Amino acid sequence: MTPPLLHGLPPIIDAGARILILGSFPSVASLEAGHYYAHSRNQFWRVLAQVLERPLLSMDYEDVQAAVRQAGFAVWDVYGRCRRQGSLDTAIRDAQANDFRRLKALAPSLTRVCFNGTTAGKFAPQLAALGYETRLLPSTSPAYTLSFERKLALWKDALQPTLAAENFPGGLSTSCGDTG
């Protein structure tokens, strides 16, 4: 039996976004919850909490979205629709990519696109052709076995230097202490 066509989530984005983080497609848990990275074992919000030095894990999702926007970040997926049984990227079928040409209008300040894992990273050439700097980051999925500390270091290296000083007047520390 063919799985039903699934529809992704709307982007977390505004005109001030400078960095877009692209995943592949929301997990079953994320689709059910209606928000990104809802699976309890996915490390995305834990990583981002430490990058932003904000207690994202204890905040309501609306406040998390506001914190993401305030930091100049955006979150979206490469696929807007697909068929998939379960949550693994390897099970994605009949995928339809999101229309990335919309990004110039949605986020005119956007300069960098970071990819959360290799499935999303397959779109790096397409985004580079649109004029964006691209960066492949290790997946925050629990299925990707790189240590949390190593993932965090790579994500910080990609994200922290581009955070706006006006959003963080005191700057960001370089500590890796656990905030969540």
Instruction: Give, in order, the Cα–Cα distances in Å from 27 to each of 53, 77, 79, 177.
Output: 26, 11, 12, 28
CA distance 45 to 50: 9
Its sign, for the CA torsion 95, 3, 31, 139, is: negative
Catalytic residue among 42, 98, 116, 167: 42
CA distance 64 to 67: 5
Contacts of 62 (CB under 8 A, 6+ apart): none
Question: At CA 26, angle to CA 44 and CA 161, rounded to 5?
Answer: 35
CA distance 30 to 9: 9
116 annotated active-site = no
Q: Active-site residue numbers?
A: 42
